[in-house]
Amino acid sequence: MTISNQIDSFWGVVIAVKDLDAAIDNYTKLGFELVDRSDRVEWGLEAAQFKVGNDGAVFEFITPVDETKDVAKVLRKFLDQRGEGVYEVAVNVADIDAVNAHVKKQGIRTLGEPMQVPVPQYAHRKLMWVSPKSTNGVFLEFMTTDTKSNK
Q: What is the domain partition of the chain in residue ranges?
A: 3-144
Per-residue pLDDT band for 78 (boundaries 50, 70, 90) equals: very high
The residue among 118, 142, 139 whose CA lies nearest residue 128 is 142
Per-residue pLDDT band for 151 (boundaries 50, 70, 90) equals: very low
Per-residue pLDDT band for 147 (boundaries 50, 70, 90) equals: low
Cα 71 to Cα 46: distance, rounded to the nearest angstrom: 11
pLDDT in tens, 29-68: 999 999 999 999 999 999 999 999 998 899 999 999 999 9
CATH 3.30.413.10 fits 3-144, yes or no: no
